[in-house]
Structure formats: structure tokens, C-alpha cells
Chain A
Amino acid sequence: MKAGQGIPVRVAEIEAVTPLIRRFTFEHADGGALPCFSGGSHIVVEMQGAGRVHRNPYSLMSAPDETRYYQIGVRRVDEGRGGSRFMHEHVRKGTVLRISAPVNLFPLVRTRRKHILLAGGIGITPFFAHIVELRRLGVDFELHYAVRDASHAGLANDLRDLAGDRLHLYLEDRGQMIDMGTVLRGQPLGTDVYVCGPAGMIEATRAAARAAGWADSHVHWEQFSAPPPGEPFDVELAHSGVRVHVAADISLLEAIEAAGIDAPSLCRGGVCGQCEIQVLELDGELQHNDHYLSPEERASGSKIMPCVSRARCRRLVLAL
């Protein structure tokens, strides 16, 4: 989403659903209907911060066919780059923001016969819309949701209404952990597993699925990365003939956008592959932080995903 584009929305409601998570309800600022979407979709929210623009992806947690409003859950990350803090501290009821149209990188595979949904903490957000869809389709599912303790389980009541006894809630302070091996064992043919949560949880799920003989095509995960800060560096954009400075706490994509160059992007979290750029020259090393490029592509040093990845280099020339 480029500056000034996208859909203008007004914040209609803000709820503190856990000590760290706020649920924001957006309505179209012009009063119209918002696009309907499919379960697992996310939007990018544009925030005008002090001196810089934040653009963060958030999963839509309202019902997919609800076009009067959208809801997102924002977990406050104090050590982060400031997007979620901005949402928590500066966004009020009535604030107007811009969002992108929904994009789905985490859809349900509709031909499957059963779906296992695994969530940790804020990773629960995409599953709300999934569950609405699964209930409408009448397809079997299980939801396993792990939170730190009872005070962080504020969304469990809403989930209980949606999922009934298909919800399995785990309170980690009571030593309750999701045992991926047990959850996946003996599931009928045509079952898929979807996981959204911390990196360790995603890894554990993928390992358990592999151990249980599941083909990779039945295992799905979503993990948006925030672009990690790093050393500042300069980049030359060959086609635009522009030299751009990338400061320590700004992503390469953000620096390119701030220079007024039109760079393609979609998820801004290293997942979708839309922002891939060819590396023409490099004197130094690329720091890949995406979940998109294959190990071989990373090693080749010929491609970079500017939304989350950086370089430690004396010289970097990109085909943009």
C-alpha cells in the first residue's frame, strides 16, 4: 500500500481483551461497506507516527462475511519498532487510519476433511475467521489455544461461543502445554494442521507432523516478522538512479518508500514474496530475515526481501 492509497477507516471501538492485547474495531470512514474476505486474511495498517510512517500487517479477526466492520488484535510490543505502541498509545475511538484491502496468505484448504488449529498468544487472531468459515461449511475442526495464564485468556470466552467444546485451552502457568505429538496422533486421513504463534511453537508443530508421517502439504503456518533493526547501510537503486540511506531502525523497504520510489510489497512481514528484488552487486553480506526464500536462494546472494531483510555491506546495488 502506497501512501494515501488504501481504505480510510475510523476506529469505532477499542477493547483491552488481555493485559497486552487490544481489539480494534474499524468502520469505513466514508460509511460504506468494507470488502468481504476469506478466513486467514490480513490487512496492513498505516500509522502516521512522529517523523515516520508505520505499516504493520494484522490478521482480521472479525467474521469474513461481516462488511460493516473489521476487527484486529494488536499485542503491545515495547521493545519493537513502535507500530504496536502507536496503536496502543495514540489511536483513540474516532481516529482515522488507512488500511490495505485484505490479502490471504493463510487460507483454509477447503478440500480437506478435518482441520486442527494451533494458536499461541496473539497467534489466535486469524483463527476467529477460520472458525466462522469452518462452522458454515460444517467441517470438523479442533482448536488448541495456549496462553500464559488466566489473565491472558480474555479471548477464550468469545472462542468458547464460536467453537464450543472444540476449544482446548492451555494455561502455561499451570504447566499445561500443547503436546503436538498427542494432538496429531491418529487423526483421520485428509486432516490439515494450521499453526500461528511463536517460532518455537511453529517448529515443534512441523517436527511433530513430520514424525507422524504427515506430508508437508498438510502443514500450514503463518508468522509475520517485524523487520529487526541492524547497522545502517547505503543502497543504490540501479533503475531509479537513486542512492538511499537505510537507518538502523528503518527497514530497507521503508527507506526505499521514504525516498519516493515505488516498490512492490504486500505482507511486509517476510511471508508473501511480493517485494523480492534482484541483487545486482554486493560487497558484504545479506542478512535474510524472511520466511520466503529457499536456503539455496539465500546462499546465492542474488535476491533480497526488503520488507524484513538488510545488508551489512560497503556496497549494495538493487535492480529497482
Chain B
Amino acid sequence: MLVTGIKSMPHYQPLQLDTGGTHHLVVCQGVGAEAGRRLIAAAAQAGLGDACQVLYVPAGGDNRFATLAQACRSAQCCADAGHLLGVLETALAALPMGLRVYAAGSEELLARVVRVAESHGLDPAEIQCEQAGPALRRVYCIHCRAFSEGVNTAQVTCCGCGRDLLVRDHYSRRHAAFMGVMADAETQVAA
């Protein structure tokens, strides 16, 4: 059951400035501000400071926007993730080729940012993601289709049907969630 090397398993890496781009859009959430600040600093050092734009959303009462506003002239703080994605959508509609998108935040936010970026024609070569904050998984129950949020264990009780789910490394980009399958499906239960 615990298959290793599953290809859909997302890989996150520290954000790294891609000097091949002509415009750099940095999206960060909560403590992801630190990754954003590092990227802006690298851009400034490479003389690309004016080509950067930052969108930030606080998480869990943790607002680090000030450090970003200090580092980048074009920084915007959004009220919540929905607002941020709307602003991102508007920005992407107006920007030409040459753009690189960088995102740092929770796995769920990263998935949503990637989906918006892909809908505007960006591909993996133009999008980087760094997971920031607690590593929590969103789990999709293949039996009742409920999503259990904030999972940090290999086995979890489904919030929808109460089954014990084994969390696989099998990731759905569409659902932005990992697959959860009944852990003891082959154990006979007395009727």
C-alpha cells in the first residue's frame, strides 16, 4: 500500500531567482514572507528590483507584510486568500510573456496559485513553489469524497464518513489534496 516514488507527489524547493525572466511576481502567505524577502533581495542584487511585484496574505494572525513592503516598492497586502487570488488573476491578465511566478505558503495556497497561473498559460518552467508554515496535508476520501484538512499523520479518521484513512503520497492537482483510502478495507467486520 505504501508505494514509494509516486510521481504526483509535489516537490517544493526554496525559491530561486530565475534571471531569464523579465518580470517577477512573488506571492506569499504567512511565514512565507521570509522566502519572498529572500527572493526580492536576490533580485535587487541582480539589478532586477524594479521588475518585482509582491502579493501577500497573512496567515493565522501572523502578519509579516512590513518586511516585504520595505523590500519591494510594488507590494500589496490582501485580506484573505480569495482576495489574493483575485488580484493575481487581474495581474496575470495584463502581464506579457517573460513573467516568472514564485509562491511560498501552505500547500493548499500553492495549489491554488499554480492553478490560476496555469489557466493563464504558464507552465512549470515559469512557476516555483516553496512550502512555508506547518506541513499539513489536505486529504480526499475516495469513499465519501469529503476533504479532511490539516492532516499531519499517515492515518486519519475521515471527517465525512468516519473511516480510518491511509494517506497516500498520491496527489491530485485538481483537488489540491492527497488520496485517502480505507486503511483496513480487507479486515472482515462482523455483520
Closest residue of chain B to A191, judged by CB? B97
Is A215 interfacial (CB-CB < 8 Å)? yes
Q: Name the contact of A213 in the complex, choosing from B21, B120, B122, B123 (C-beta under 8 A).
A: B21
Looking at A190, A191, A210, which has the most chain B CB atoms within 10 Å of its CB?
A: A190
Binding stretch for chain B, among A3-11, A38-46, A170-178, A181-189 = A181-189
Q: Do the beta carbons of A212 and B98 come within 8 Å of each other?
A: yes
Starting from the known contacts A184-B97, A191-B121, A215-B20, 20 additional A-B residue pairs (CB-CB under 8 Å) come to: A111-B123, A113-B120, A188-B97, A188-B121, A189-B95, A190-B122, A191-B97, A210-B20, A212-B22, A212-B98, A213-B21, A213-B97, A213-B98, A213-B100, A214-B97, A214-B98, A215-B123, A215-B125, A217-B124, A217-B125
Closest residue of chain B to A109, judged by CB? B123
Q: Return B61 CB to nearest CB of chain A, in Å.
A: 34
Interface residues of B (CB under 8 A from A): 20-23, 92, 95-100, 120-126
Q: Do the beta carbons of A187 and B96 come within 8 Å of each other?
A: yes
Q: Return A27 CB to nearest CB of chain B, in Å.
A: 40
Interface residues in A, total, Cβ within 8 A: 20
Bound together, the chains give a CA A213 to CA B19 distance in angstroms of 8
Chain A residues with CB under 8 A of B22: 212-213
Q: Return B122 CB to nearest CB of chain A, in Å.
A: 6
Is A314 interfacial (CB-CB < 8 Å)? no
With A187-B97, A210-B20 known to touch, is A216 a contact of B125 (CB < 8 Å)? yes
Please list 19 pairs of residues, one from A and one from B, whose beta carbons are closer than 8 Å in the complex, sorted by A's number: A112-B121, A113-B121, A184-B97, A185-B96, A187-B97, A189-B92, A189-B95, A189-B122, A190-B122, A212-B22, A212-B97, A212-B98, A213-B97, A213-B98, A213-B99, A213-B100, A215-B123, A217-B126, A218-B97
